[in-house]
Each structure stands twice: as structure tokens, then as C-alpha cells.
Structure 1
């Protein structure tokens, strides 16, 4: 008995000193793709065919990121990450369900997000060319009656855990820590611009003024088209906002048509958050540092457009999400306000 005890102690000492390597235990990965499309859409928001295309596109990037034996298959990395984005579930819960350890999932998720973000230049494109703008103008005019619209703009807040640095700048007007996200959509709810890098206290108009779209439109890229924004934005020759206090039937009609046309971006935001519940408080606020939250938001924007372009429906039974913007205060006036006011009067006469 004494010899057995001494042998056991010696073995433990060898393990502790690294002289004997403990054999790793690998868990079996579930074959999620063996399930039907309804099951896959419910959990990962895409049917099998679209998931296979995503895995094929992201696979080379994910496989190059590790050369270890028993590496997690690329499709498991993609599906497990999509499961987190779709449901807002904790990493440990998704890891247990898929047979991946929570630390392993934490390691692979950034690579999946980065791979999706690299697709953004193909899936999220603002219409700068004459042909692109003409097509979007026709769609807006046909569906809303508002002329020459090249996009509807708004911002939405994604709740986060209080960050460890600069915590106060992430507190929005509802006293919630958040990232403020700029969204521009066309009349089909496709995102044509997504800016996710500003803390919750940042005003919507500031984000637009410091975005590439805002700078290019200010420089003349809008040609004879304009964005539609709410009263949180300044009136510009390329950005039309509603009358703050309509004084005539014509102004009231303008506001009515403007609201109907601009509402597409609110519906786009609602659909984005409905499909990817991690972005809405119903899925729980995101428990990551702001930089990773911004990468998650950008990934969800790309996937939103992938879903729309492939005609993928929402899973049945999801409770609806209604977009609410904490920013309601008017922006500061600008010298371009008068030019925008004259243009608004001209558009009003055409309605």
C-alpha cells in the first residue's frame, strides 16, 4: 500500500512538472447541418444552402488560422458563432450544445467575425454612381411617392455592459451603456451604410458628419438625390428632414410622405435586431468590450443583407422588436440649413 501511494505521488509530481503530458479529451461535435431548414433557420437564421455557402467562403480563412491537430471544423466555428449572434445566448451555453469548450469558442469567434466583416465591401455598398442612385430613386418613388431619395438614415443603440475604460461616454440619454450605430437603408430594407464605432453619448448628427458617406455627400456625391432623416439631423441640400412645426396643409402633407418614406430605415433596424437578437436587449446586453461589440454589429449588418438577398424568412414566433432612438434633441444649425430649407420647399410643391 505504501509503495502504491509513493508511486501515485511520483506520478502527480511528474504531471505537475510537465514531464508527462496529459492526453487532451476531445468532445464530439454535433452535425448541425444534418437538420432540416426550419430547424437551422430557427437557430442560425439561415437554411442549409446559405450556411454551406458561408462556410465555403469563410472556410479558407478559418482553416489557415490554426494548424493544430483536432482543430474545430470551419463549419462548426461558423455555426456556433451564428448561434450566438442569432439568440444572444451565452458562449458557454452554445459551446456545450455544440461540443466545443467555452475557451475554444472564445478563441475562434473573433476569426469568424473578421471573416464576415471582410465580406462587407460586397454586401454593404452606398449608391454613389448615377446608375445605382437612379435605381434606388425609382424604388423609393414607387413605394413611397417621395422623389429622388437615395436612402433613409437613422441611428440605433446596442446595449453593452459598462466598459472598464471611459465608461461615462457610453451612457446614452436613457441612462443605458450603449454603442450608437448609424444605419442607412434602401426601400427594400437592405443596408447601404453601417457605422459602428461611436459610444452611446454621441449625437446622431455628429456620427453622420464624421462618416465617409456624410463627407462625400457634402462634397457633392449626392448629385440631385437626398437622404431622409428625422429631426435629430440637420437640414442640408442632400439631407431632408421634416418641418418641426408644420404651418400649412402642404407642410403637413410633406411630413406625412416624409415619415412614410423614412420609416423604411426603422423597419430595417427592427428586422436587423429581430433576426440577430444579440443586438437587442431581449437577447441580453452584450458582455464584451466596445471594440468587439462593434465587430459583432458589423457582422450582423453583413449577415442581414445576406439573408435579404437570399430571401431568407425570419423564424416563426419571434416577438417583434420596435426600433426606438434615444436621440430626439435637434442638432446645431449650419450654414447649409438655408439651402436645405429652399430645397425642401421645392420638394413640397411637387408632392
Structure 2
């Protein structure tokens, strides 16, 4: 249960006047509301019903901020990436209160990750693979994997430089698996920006599951930044036959889903696109996961995309040229499907 001190500005001083909180819920018409908070009201009420018990203040003394307003404040932060002091002007509260609200609500939303972000079950394999197949006739795909960088401020300390990516800024390198509906099926948000995509994948629980045959003869597809395996298929760097060219065309069109998904995710929540300016690393990582949870909820609730989507092109040159690879499944597909 939320403590009073984290949700109000005036519990220690009774003489100070505390301004009335602005009514964010009724302040805007439906279109303005969605553009500011990224969801319509029924969806927000559904989300609130799942986390309200985690963020509602124990009392309303000192005009403590109610759970619904806290959620709107945090959604506004995700939708803008604004500084906490600027967001505080929304409801007449100070920066320190804003920081505590962002931490508390983000943690609550992240607690829904196991429900909202999960790989397909065996009952879903065929349906998910069929949706991918309808894009460009690439068979048995369960997901498209890619990494994207989320910019952060320098975390300081002797390990700070490990967070500097090859483009020169500090970041978290986030691995994501999407399906054809643009839903996030798996996310890993903990690696510094200097770590290579293939290293993140090879050290992930998902890789271990695939290695152990957890998904049968289904597989992921990824760009040439990954090692080709029987469970992770990459494109040919230099196709030399018609079959290899056909394979590449289908692979690229199918994998374009992940590029579009990253674009949708970042445009829906610009705090991910512009960079997270929070100081606590734990909260930064939770914001990344929380926005992934909300992205999936938006897909489930069929929230309309009301923003332009730029394809995420930052990883296209992230190639590898050596290492243990397994081309058996890729070769079989070229010979049996794409020739």
C-alpha cells in the first residue's frame, strides 16, 4: 500500500496552503485525452483496476494524489518524456513527489509483465505462424527478434563507458521479440549499450529454451547481427542462387514487422524514443518494460495508431561475420520452399 509521504506535498507542514489538484480526467475531450495519455478512458480504467491497490494512498490527508491521477501523470510522462518538474505543473506538485509517483506507478505496471508479455503457447503456434506466413510466405515463424537502443544519461561510476553504444551516446540495448500483430512476445531490458545484440540473445533464457527444443520446429527470424541457427534464421549476406534471393526477399518482408513494431512502440511512448532522463537505473529499466506492457494492452484494446511511424533503422549495419552457426534449416528452406 502506498505511504502517505510519497503521494502528497504537505504532510509535515499544516500551515502551508496546498493547491487544489487539477482534474486531468475531465479536462479534455476524447481526442485530446487520447493524444495526451495514449489510451481512451475505458482502457485506462481497465488498467487502473489491475494496479489501483498498489498505488492508492492510504488516506486523502494533505490532498494526497489519488490512484487515477497518478496513473494519468505517469502516462503523460511516457507520452512526452518531459522533466518531472514540468509534469508536476499538471497537478500542482513538486519534483520529488513526481519522482516517487513515476517510480511507484511504473513498478505497478511492470508487475503485469508476466500476464501481458509472453511467448506463444503450443496452442498458439499455428495461428502465430500463419499470421507471419501471410506477410510473405515464410513458414513456421514464431517471432521476429531485434535489439534497439534506448538513450539514457550517463549513469556515472567506473562502468559508465560500458553504456556508451557504438553511435556515441549512453543507452540500454533492449532485445525484443514481436509477432505479426505487433505485440511484444519477449523483452530483455538490462544490458548496457556497448553489448552486441548476439551476446544479449545468447545469454537470454529464451535462447536456452530454443536450444532445448521448447518450440519444436518453429523458429525466430533476425537480421545478420545474429548467428544463424536452426531456431534463429538470418538472411544470406551474398545470395548466389534464385532460391537464396527468394528466401532473402521473404525474410526481409517478414522481418520488417519488427522494424515497424519498434517504430510504433517508440512513437507511442516518446520517452523511449527521445531518451529516459531519470537517474535511478532500476526505474529506467522498469519504464522500458512498463511501456512494453502498455504497448501490448494498446494492441489488445485495438487502440488506433494516431501518429506517424518511422521504421527503426539503427541496427541495419550490425553484422557479424564469424562464430558457430548452423545453416541446416535455412538451407532446407531454400531447397524445399524458395527454389
TM superposition score normalised by structure 1 = 0.87
1:311 to 295, 298, 302: 302
- Relative to structure 1, the CA distance from residue 256 to residue 21 in structure 2 (aligned partners, 3 Å threshold; closer, same or farther) is closer
Distance 2:50 2:262 in 1: 26
Residue 320 of structure 2 is aligned to residue 330 of structure 1:
yes
Indicate conservation of the 8 Å contact 2:260/2:309, yes or no.
Answer: no
**Cα distance in structure 2, aligned partners of 1:178 and 1:310:** 31
Cross-structure match for 2:156: 164
Contact kept in structure 2, 1:180 and 1:196, CA below 8 Å: yes
Structure 1: distance between partners of 2:193 and 2:13? 48
Aligned partner of 2:224 in structure 1 is 231
1:28 & 1:249 partners in 2: Cα distance? 69
Contact 1:114 1:295 in 2 (8 A): yes
Shift of 1:118: 0.8
- SS of 2:19's equivalent in the other structure is coil
Larger Rg: 1
Verify the 8 A CA contact 1:155 1:325 in the aligned structure 2: no
Moved >4 Å (runs of 4+): none
Question: 1:143 maps to which residue?
Answer: 135
Match of 1:347 among 304, 326, 333: 333
Structure 2 Cα separation of the partners of residues 56 and 33 of structure 1: 16
- Give the Cα separation in 2 of the matches to 1:27 and 1:102: 15
Distance in 1 (CA, whole Å) between partners of 2:282 and 2:203 is 18
Query: Hey, what's the Cα distance between the residues in 2 that align with 1:67 and 1:170?
Result: 41
The correspondence of residues 42-57 of structure 1 with structure 2, limited to 5 A, is 42-57=35-50
Which residue matches 1:248?
Answer: 241
Any idea what SS the aligned residue of 1:156 has?
strand
Q: Which runs of 5+ in 2 are unaligned?
A: 1-11
The SS at the match of 2:124 is helix
* Structure 1 range deviating more: 243-252 or 98-107: 98-107
Cα distance in 2 for residues equivalent to 1:298 and 1:124 = 9
Distance (Å, rounded) in 2 between the aligned partners of 1:29 and 1:236: 56
Instruction: Measure the CA separation in 1 of the matches of 2:150 and 2:13.
Output: 45
CA distance in 1, matches of 2:31, 2:14: 42
1:201-212 to 2 correspondences below 5 Å? 201-212=194-205
Does structure 1 conserve the Cα–Cα contact (< 8 Å) formed by 2:20 and 2:92? yes
Q: Aligned partners of 1:151 and 1:21: how far apart in 2?
A: 55
Structure having the larger proportion of residues in helix? 1
> Within 5 Å, which residues of 2 pair with 1:182-221?
182-221=175-214
* CA deviation after TM superposition for structure 1 residue 222, in Å: 2.1
Paired with 2:280 and 2:101, the residues of 1 have a C-alpha distance of 17
Separation (CA, whole Å) in 1 of partners of 2:146 and 2:129: 18
- TM-fit CA distance, 1:57: 1.8
Give the Cα separation in 1 of the matches to 2:245 and 2:328: 17
| Equivalent in the alignment of 2:102 | 109
Report the Cα distance in structure 2 between the residues aligned to 1:119 and 1:218, rounded to whole angstroms.
27
Q: How far does the alpha carbon of each residue in 1:186-224 deviate from its partner, in whole angstroms, 9 at most, with x for none? A: 001000001100000011111111111111111111201
Gaps of 5+ in 1: 1-19
* Among candidates 166, 169, 176, match of residue 173 of structure 1: 166
* Equivalence for 1:5: none
SS in 2 for 1:182: strand
CA contact (8 A) 1:205 1:331 kept: no
CA apart distance, 1:245: 0.8
CA distance in 2, matches of 1:290, 1:342: 41
d(CA) in 1 for partners of 2:236 and 2:35?
42
Contact 2:151 2:276 in 1 (8 A): yes
